[in-house]
């Protein structure tokens, strides 16, 4: 783990926030090292005889892992070099291209510290998924459900980490009708590459249940789902051509410009192709 502090945005910060929540601190699980995370880190350092500077370096990381007894995902769940080699062969891609995409498009870790696949629940998608199943979402939209069911996109309800499962479960429990659970699972993005559940059947899974089960197995399955998504959306050839702009647009939408995904992909490819 690299050293991180206030103002940093990275995958390590996301993991740090997961650990802090596990220790009882009230922080939002995200990749942003904000003031709440800074305050929690300093409190943790004070209580564990560490230098109170808000900087999470070797000593703080070591103590955090000891205190949380982190035994999250075993190595059998993690993406391996062989997974990437097999993916490259399957789709006739340069290994450097695959590694570049993995570095930029994956979010660093496909599983939470409790071993469940990472998810992000989308309440506006849940609204649409209920309508697909001929269920009127307005009948269930009220103040008590406003954080899981709303008509238009609103990121203020994101909580990150394991709490996203609480949101998903709340949505699924609005009715005993299995359509609600299917709609809820379809309204979350899953795993290392955050593939939305509503893509499950269109990319080759029998149903949403099979997709969710596979996402719980390992990051190799996350990579497989990613490949199915790329194939379905005709993005494989763009990778063969190393057309980073077209690929970033196809996978990330117009937001790729803001986040400079195409530039990041090109730099990562050059690094791995050496």
Residue 130 half-sphere exposure, CB side, CA atoms within 13 Å? 25
Residues in the chain: 274
For residue 19, give every residue at least 6 positions away whose Cβ sits within 8 Å of its Cβ, in sequence order, or none: 64, 65, 68, 70, 113
Nearest C-alpha neighbor of 217 from the set 193, 191, 198, 196:
191
**Which residue pairs, CB below 8 angstroms and at least 24 apart, start in 234-237?**
236/91, 236/93
Question: Domain 11-68 maps to which CATH number in 1.20.120.1200, 2.60.120.10, 1.10.101.10, 3.30.70.270?
Answer: 1.10.101.10
155-to-99, 121, 152, 160, 161 alpha-carbon distances in Å: 30, 10, 10, 11, 15
Q: Are 151 and 124 in contact (CB under 8 A)?
A: yes
C-alpha 88/C-alpha 95 separation (Å) is: 5
Q: pTM of the prediction? A: 0.80
Q: Are 163 and 194 in contact (CB under 8 A)?
A: no
Residue-wise burial string across 50-60, b where 16 or more C-beta atoms lie within 10 A, e elsewhere: beeebbbeeeb
Quickly list H helices, the chain: 11-22, 35-47, 58-68, 81-90, 95-105, 123-132, 163-172, 178-186, 200-203, 208-215, 219-232, 236-240, 244-252, 256-259, 261-273
C-alpha 88/C-alpha 226 separation (Å) is: 13
253-to-113, 224, 245, 248 alpha-carbon distances in Å: 30, 21, 10, 7
234-to-24, 99, 220, 238, 273 alpha-carbon distances in Å: 44, 19, 21, 8, 24
The pLDDT, as a whole number, for residue 74 is 56
| Residue boundaries of the structural domains of the chain | 11-68
The pLDDT, as a whole number, for residue 70 is 58
Token digits of residue 189: 């993005």
Per-residue pLDDT of the chain (274 residues; tens, 9 = 90+): 789 999 999 889 999 999 999 999 999 998 899 999 999 999 999 999 999 999 999 999 999 999 987 554 456 788 999 999 999 999 999 999 999 999 888 877 889 888 899 999 999 999 999 999 999 999 999 999 999 999 999 989 999 889 999 999 999 999 999 999 999 999 999 999 999 999 999 999 999 999 999 999 999 999 999 999 999 999 999 999 999 999 999 998 888 888 899 999 999 999 999 8
Phi, psi at residue 79, to the nearest 5°?
Answer: -65, 135
The pLDDT, as a whole number, for residue 75 is 65
């Amino acid at each position: 783990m690299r050293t991180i502090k206030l103002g940093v945005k990275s995958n390590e910060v996301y993991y740090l926030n997961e650990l802090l929540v596990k220790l009882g601190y009230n922080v939002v699980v995200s990749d942003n090292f904000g003031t709440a995370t800074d305050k929690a880190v300093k409190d943790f350092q004070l209580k564990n005889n560490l230098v109170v500077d808000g900087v999470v370096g070797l000593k703080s990381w070591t103590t955090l892992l000891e205190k949380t007894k982190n035994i999250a995902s075993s190595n059998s769940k993690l993406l391996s070099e062989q997974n990437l080699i097999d993916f490259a062969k399957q789709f006739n891609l340069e290994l450097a291209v695959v590694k570049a995409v993995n570095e930029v498009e994956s979010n660093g870790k496909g599983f939470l510290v409790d071993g469940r696949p990472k998810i992000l629940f989308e309440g506006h998608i849940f609204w649409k998924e209920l309508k697909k199943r001929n269920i009127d979402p307005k009948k269930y939209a009220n103040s008590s459900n406003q954080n899981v069911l709303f008509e238009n996109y609103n990121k203020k309800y994101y909580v990150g980490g394991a709490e996203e499962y609480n949101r998903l479960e709340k949505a699924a429990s609005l009715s005993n009708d299995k359509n609600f659970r299917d709609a809820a699972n379809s309204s979350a993005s899953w795993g290392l590459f955050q593939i939305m559940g509503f893509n499950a059947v269109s990319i080759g899974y029998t149903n949403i249940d099979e997709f969710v089960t596979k996402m719980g197995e390992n990051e190799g399955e996350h990579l497989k789902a990613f490949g199915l998504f790329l194939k379905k959306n005709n993005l494989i050839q763009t990778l063969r051509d190393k057309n980073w702009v077209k690929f970033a647009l196809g996978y990330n939408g117009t937001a790729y410009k803001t986040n400079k995904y195409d530039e990041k992909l090109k730099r990562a490819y050059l690094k791995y192709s050496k």
